[in-house]
Amino acid sequence: MNAPFVSDLPSSDMAERLRAEAAIEPDPVSTEPVKKETQIIAIYGKGGIGKSFTLANLSYMMAQQGKRVLLIGCDPKSDTTSLLFGGRSCPTIIETSSKKKLAGEQVKIGDVCFKRDGVFAMELGGPEVGRGCGGRGIIHGFELLEKLGFHEWGFDYVLLDFLGDVVCGGFGLPIARDMCQKVIVVGSNDLQSLYVANNVCSAVDYFRKLGGNVGVAGMVINKDDGTGEAQAFADSVGIPVLSAIPANEDIRRKSANYEIVGTPGGQWASLFEALAEQVAVAPPVRPNPLTHDALLNLFKGDAVGRGVVLEPATIEDMCAASIIEKKSLEVIYEGA
C-alpha cells in the first residue's frame, strides 16, 4: 500500500512529519583534499606556424616543473608528438582503432598513449588522403578517448593541438562544445597566420554569443622578427601576448633536428618557463575579432595591395563577346 501524500495527512500529522524532516542532520562537510581541476587548453594556428614546436617544448618544461601534462595531437598530419619523441611517430588512435577492430580486440591506453620524461602524449590522427573527413576523424578520436576514461584521468594540463586553418566540424569541437576552458592562438608577423588567428577568435566570439564559456587566453608569437604585426593584432582583438619566440637560427636548427629547446638550464629555458606560467594563469577572455579590412590595415599598403578598385564584371566580359539583349516573352496584363 502506498504511503499517503503529505497534503493528504491531517494538519497535526503533517506538522509532525515536517518537524521530523527538519530534524534530519545534513551530511557532514567533506574533509577530503579538493580534487584539482584539469585545465584543458586548445591551441590553434595555421599549418606550419609552429604549434607543434611550441607545444612540445611547453609540455616538456611543464613536466620538468612537476606538472602532470597530457599532449594530444589533433592535426591530421599527426606530427604534434614528433618533436617530443625525437622524430619518431607514434601510432595514432584512428589507425590503431581500425586495426584492433578488424582483429576483434579492444584498444588499450598503452596502445595509443606514450610518455617521455614525464610528458604523456598521443595522436588522434586522421583518414588517408581522399578517404574521409579529417574533422570527423577527430570526433571519432574523442569518442574513443571517452571510452578510455578521458574524464577520469588525473592531469594538471591537457594540451590539444588543433589545425586552425578551418574551424568547422571536429576542428571546432573544443570551442563549440565547451570541451576546453580556454584557447591559445599561435601566429607570426604574416597575414595568413593572423587571418587564421582571427578566424579562431571569431569562432570563440560566435559561441560565446550562444552561451558558450570558452575564451581566448592569449597569443604566442612564433618566429618573431620584430615587425610588430602580430602584437598589433593581439592589441586590436583584446588578447594578451603570452610569449614571443624569436626568429633565431639556433631554435630553427634544433627544431629541424627534433631537439627540445625548452629544457631547464638551457639557453631558452627562461622563455618557456615564462610561457608555462602565463599559460597557467592567463584568464579566458572574449575577443573582438577584426573585419577583413581591419586585418589588412595591420600591414603596409604595398604589402597587401590596398588602393586597388573592385571593378564589377559584365556579362559581355564573361562571354568575351557582345551580347544581343533579347526581349522578354513575359505577358504583362493591364492593371497588374
Please report, for the domain that includes residue 205, its CATH number. Answer: 3.40.50.300
Higher pLDDT, 129 or 322: 322
User: pLDDT tens for residues 245-274?
Assistant: 999 999 999 999 999 999 999 999 999 999
pLDDT at residue 308, rounded to an integer: 75
Instruction: With beta carbons less than 8 A apart as the criterion, state whether 262 and 63 touch.
Output: no
- Residue 139's domain spans which residues? 39-296
Instruction: With beta carbons less than 8 A apart as the criterion, state whether 196 and 44 touch.
Output: yes
Query: Would you name the residues annotated as active-site residues?
Result: 46, 51, 77, 165
Whether 20 is covered by a domain: the verdict is no
Whether 258 is covered by a domain: the verdict is yes
Whether 255 is covered by a domain: the verdict is yes
pLDDT band (50, 70, 90) for residue 133: low
Whether 45 is covered by a domain: the verdict is yes
Count of domains forming the chain: 1
Separation between Cα atoms, residue 248 and residue 50, nearest integer Å: 13
Whether 6 is covered by a domain: the verdict is no
Whether 4 is covered by a domain: the verdict is no
Residue 230 has pLDDT above 60, yes or no: yes
pLDDT at residue 21, rounded to an integer: 56
Whether 319 is covered by a domain: the verdict is no
Separation between Cα atoms, residue 18 and residue 40, nearest integer Å: 45
Instruction: With beta carbons less than 8 A apart as the criterion, state whether 216 and 185 touch.
Output: yes
Whether 94 is covered by a domain: the verdict is yes
Separation between Cα atoms, residue 230 and residue 193, nearest integer Å: 9
User: pLDDT tens for residues 135-148?
Assistant: 666 777 788 888 88
129 — alpha (psi -120 to 50), left (phi > 0) or beta? beta
